[in-house]
Amino acid sequence: EDQVTQSPEALRLQEGESSSLNCSYTVSGLRGLFWYRQDPGKGPEFLFTLYSAGEEKEKERLKATLTKKESFLHITAPKPEDSATYLCAVQSTSGTYKYIFGTGTRLKVLA
């Protein structure tokens, strides 16, 4: 069964303190891995798509990387406005095009 596990569940950082969020996945075949940001009471906001091991994507203070078993979302010098829940989702090559989400990492950046 396709599965996504994210860690840690919650993370508190001081402003400027860099860290990484982990997304481990088990799929029969990976069509794509997706990172989203979700603010309270809002819908997931798309950040990155990764398709193959070794791929990296970057946007402002965020950088996503992918291996054959996991993905990392690196946050460099975070600011309070980066506080949100970060969601990882995968799309498998088996069956249809649904996205399977992990439980997310709640990030709090303190000023």
Partner 1 sequence: EPEVTQTPSHQVTQMGQEVILRCVPISNHLYFYWYRQILGQKVEFLVSFYNNEISEKSEIFDDQFSVERPDGSNFTLKIRSTKLEDSAMYFCASGRIGAEAFFGQGTRLTVV
| Min CB(17)–partner 1 separation in Å | 26
19 interacts with partner 1 by CB under 8 A? no
> To 5 degrees, how large is the angle CA 64–CA 54–CA 106?
25
| Min CB(13)–partner 1 separation in Å | 22
For partner 1, which is the closer residue by CB, 75 or 89? 89
Single out the residue of 102, 105, 107, 109 in contact with partner 1 (rule: CB under 8 A).
Answer: 102
- Give the x/- contact pattern for partner 1 in 72-91, rule: CB under 8 A: ---------------x-x-x
Sign of torsion, CA 90 96 97 102? Answer: negative
